[in-house]
Amino acid sequence: MIEGRIKNLDLANRSALIVEGNGNELTVKFALRTNVEVIEPETVGLMGGSLEDLEEGYEVEIEVASLNEDGSIICDSITCIS
Q: What pLDDT, on a 0 to 100 scale, did the predictor assign at position 41?
A: 66
The predicted pLDDT at position 48 comes to: 84
Name the average pLDDT for the chain. Answer: 89
Q: Is 30 exposed, middle or buried (0-12, 13-18, 19+ CB in 10 A)?
A: buried
CATH number of the domain encompassing residue 63: 2.40.50.320
Q: How many structural domains compose the chain? A: 1
SS3 for 40? coil
Give the tens place of pLDDT for each residue, 19-64.
999 999 999 999 888 999 887 766 667 778 889 989 999 999 999 8
pTM: 0.86
Q: What range does the domain containing 21 cover?
A: 2-80
Average pLDDT over residues 65-72: 85
